[in-house]
Structure 1
Amino acid sequence: MRTLILCCSFFLLLSCDWLTNTETRTQKLVEDELRGIDWNDVDQYPLFEACDETASKTDQRLCFERNLMENLSMSLQDFRFTSDSDLQSTVYIDFMVETTGELQVVEMQNDSVLQGQIPQFREVIIKSLRSMPRPEPALKRGIPVRSRFRLPMEITTNRNG
């Protein structure tokens, strides 16, 4: 009987260590899992209503980009830009799709000639992005996340038109 009580006491003392080790092991597993997540990639790209959420990631991205360009083109048709000289330039628009689906311009890289010839260009782009339909945000493990994109835009103008 004495041996049985001694063995039970011994196992009770060891079981306390097993509980703390379980917590430590769980914490280590969580940390390893977080380190293993690629935070620069999303599980699902932002999607406009016309895009299929069950499509592959490549198809989702293509659909997002195609719909974005179509909406932006339609929005920019309302504006007439004029310049004093022929102009050919590429503008890089960095924008963020927020967790709410709102599009925010982060940065716009363009050359000084474009800025001098069409000073209202930046405001027109920002207004156009804000007026288009909101996409569903990107998802990472089922949670809406912010995602950043770079859109190259080729600008070609003819003198006075």
Structure 2
Amino acid sequence: MQRLVLFLFILVCGSCDFFVSTQEKTEKEVRKALGEINWNEVDTYPMFDACDEYAPKSEQRTCFKNQLLERFADTLASLNLTAEKALNDTLWIDFIVDEDGFIIINEIKDNASIKDAFPGLEKDIAKRLNDITTVAPARKRSIPVSIKVRLPIIINTTE
């Protein structure tokens, strides 16, 4: 009978996590939780003052995009650009809204036709866009995070 009890005791202790340290258990749980997080999406998008922070995520994204486009349009309009020939092209602006809500331009991708028609446009846009007011940063699990944004600006002029 004693052998049976001893055998059952060893079997129970050996088959569970009884001897695993709490640190190992915690690390295992953290790895599991991190594996379940979708790191390619944020919980809330960056928000301007006009956006509702309690709106559904899709509405937050739409509001952010619309407010951003409105500010970019105002910035471009303030440059008073004029073209000597017809132009229909796209200017790509890659930027980051950092965890403090500042807009930082990474790159402005244009081509030769835009550079020829509007020399110095990149510098003017970068200067003006850096002056845009800060926004509430994007959040992931209630922590402010940076978010990359690529914005196409279609330049369409007529002679």
TM-score range, shorter chain: 0.7 to 0.9
d(CA) in 2 for partners of 1:19, 1:27: 15
d(CA) in 1 for partners of 2:131, 2:23: 50
d(CA) in 2 for partners of 1:45, 1:149: 11
d(CA) in 2 for partners of 1:19, 1:81: 72
TM-score by structure 2 length? 0.83
Contact 2:52 2:60 in 1 (8 A): yes
d(CA) in 2 for partners of 1:44, 1:101: 13
Contact 2:75 2:125 in 1 (8 A): no
TM-score by structure 1 length? 0.82
Q: Which residue of 2 aligns with 1:135?
A: 135
d(CA) in 1 for partners of 2:114, 2:138: 32
Q: Among the aligned pairs, what percent are the same residue?
A: 36
Deviations 1:70-109 (A, max 9, x none): 1122222221223332111011111100111111111222
* Corresponding residue SS for 1:77: helix
Q: Which residue of 1 aligns with 2:99?
A: 99
| Aligned-residue offset at 1:113 | 1.0
- Which sections of structure 2, spanning at least 5 residues, go unmatched? 1-5
Q: Say how many residue pairs are matched.
A: 148
d(CA) in 1 for partners of 2:130, 2:19: 53
Q: Which residue of 2 aligns with 1:4?
A: none
Q: Which residue of 1 aligns with 2:3?
A: none
- Which sections of structure 1, spanning at least 5 residues, go unmatched? 1-6
Deviations 1:107-152 (A, max 9, x none): 2222211112212111122122212221110000011100011111
Deviations 1:16-75 (A, max 9, x none): x83643321221110111122111100000000110111111100100011111112222
What is the aligned-residue RMSD (CA, Å)? 2.2
Q: Which residue of 2 aligns with 1:42?
A: 42
Q: Which residue of 1 aligns with 2:24?
A: 24
Contact 1:72 1:128 in 2 (8 A): no
d(CA) in 2 for partners of 1:117, 1:77: 16
